[in-house]
Amino acid sequence: MTFHECEEYILSVPKFAGKLGTEDLSRILELMGHPERACPVIHVAGTNGKGSTCSFLASILSQAGKRVGLFTSPHLIKITERIRIGNTQITEADFTACFEETMEYVERAKEKGIAHPSFFELLFLMAALYFKKQKTEYVIYETGMGGRLDATNVVFPEVCVITSVGMDHMQYLGDTLSKIAEEKAGIIKKGIPVVFFDREDKSTDVIKQTARQVGAPLFLVEKSQYKILKIANKVIDFSFNSGYYRYCQLSIRRTGLYQIENAMLAVKAFELMKNSFHSGCARLESLADREQDMDWIRAGLLGMAWPGRMEQIADRVFIDGAHNEEAIEAFCHTLEVLFPAEQKRLLFAVSADKEYERMIGRLCRIPFAEIILVRYEGSRAADLDTIAEVFRRFSGSKLTAFDDIRAGFSYGMSHVGDSYLFCVGSLYLAGDLLRIGSIKDD
């Protein structure tokens, strides 16, 4: 099969296959020789910030000289983005080879009465197989959605990380913060340390209770533990007191302020697992060891770049994949702190199944010079007229709408002038705009 034939098959899986569940998925992994157990694993769940936290941690581990596998979702432009080693995506040839070999095991499983895996489960099986073949030293698995019933929850991690918990995917995970937190907490396992960002809401109580019931040591990270030292043209400098160490003069790229929280989670996870770098042997930590760890952390944080998260794609033009109320709040806070006096324009698209009225209400507390509405490519996109009416209820800003995303983006780019254009509302929007940009580059 060609790569494109494999891709078309995988994208068609939702039409004929449902979710297997962790029990049957584990039976397929057993047939495969349990590739997910080939090296130490870090498991990451949460509503927002999962991908960035995974990427921060992978960057730190790579600076430490480790070969790190990274399984994330969704992809913005190409399906190979989901399976990477360091910053390098799986090649089309390796993707095809892993697909074909994985499908051999799927067929063997069918003979034993196991149904075809779902879209996400199939990609997870392929990733586990690929990382084993590539002899990775660590693998970071990001949950697709939830945690308790997620395909990745078959792994036996060295550290679990739960990022922020917010209201998203309520039709699948529950209609309250506590219910959603219960699903995320499903990745917690006995004796495995858990790192969680504490926002002092109902989710914290759920995470604490689950960790206590399961018997997992819990390490909370909170806003009081960091201090922004300087916001420069290209970087944000901050310090972080982890409760065990004080990390001074850390820096991330000048993107969203929310990335500081994701960086803190990655640093704490690294802190908990770093002793495994020394062949699992206990060691007395010397000053030289400490300085080496700091060098890895500083270089890893500053070197991390995650597409579609407050990403600058042109002069004065930024894309952010914020697509729920919590993420929009973080996005708006970034604009209010980093761009307080600058004239701003908004390009917005959203999925019909999101809590878009709350998202729009928060966005409209920022005085945008103009709001440009577009409809991203795909059946999930919200109706333009409906979204326009919501904006009119909250804002008196000039409103312009385009059914064609390319026309809307071209209009926004041509009207930037001395202002800034921020494109937000959906990861589908971010992917479409990045794809448009790559086409123009070609």
Look at residue 280 in the predicted model and tell me its pLDDT.
43
pLDDT in tens, 396-420: 999 999 999 999 999 999 999 999 9
Residue listed under structure tokens 């995917």 = 169
Count the helix, strand and coil residues of the chain and give each as a percent rounded to the nearest 5.
Answer: 45, 20, 35
pLDDT in tens, 123-157: 999 999 999 999 999 999 999 988 999 999 999 99
Question: Is pTM, for the whole model, over 0.85?
Answer: yes
Contact between 348 and 372 (Cβ < 8 Å): yes
Apex 313 CA angle, 381 and 44, nearest 5:
65
- Integer CA distances (angstroms), 436 to 1, 67, 379, 400, 403, in order: 28, 32, 19, 20, 15
Mean pLDDT of the region 252-276: 89
pLDDT at 233 over 90: no
pLDDT in tens, 283-303: 435 555 778 888 999 999 999
CA–CA separation, 81 vs 312, rounded Å? 19
Look at residue 442 in the predicted model and tell me its pLDDT.
47
CATH code for residues 3-221: 3.40.1190.10
Phi, psi (degrees; rounded to nearest 5) at 114? -95, 130
Question: What b/e string do you get for 143-182 counting C-beta neighbours within 10 Å, with b at 16 or more?
Answer: bbbbbbebbbbbbebbbbbbbbbbbbbeeebbeebeebbb
CA–CA separation, 131 vs 2, rounded Å? 21
Residue listed under structure tokens 């296959």 = 17
Name every residue whose Cβ is closer than 8 Å to that of residue 209 and which is 6 or more positions away in sequence.
none
Note if the bond before 74 is cis, omega within 30 degrees: yes
CA–CA separation, 14 vs 333, rounded Å? 37
Confidence label for 275 from pLDDT (cuts 50, 70 and 90)? low
Mean pLDDT of the region 228-240: 93
Phi, psi (degrees; rounded to nearest 5) at 86? 65, -130
- Integer CA distances (angstroms), 442 to 262, 283, 331, 413, 435, in order: 33, 52, 30, 18, 11
Domain map (residue ranges) of the chain = 3-221, 311-441
Position with higher pLDDT, 278 vs 229: 229
Looking at the domain 311-441, which fold is it? Answer: Protein-Tyrosine Phosphatase; Chain A (3.90.190)
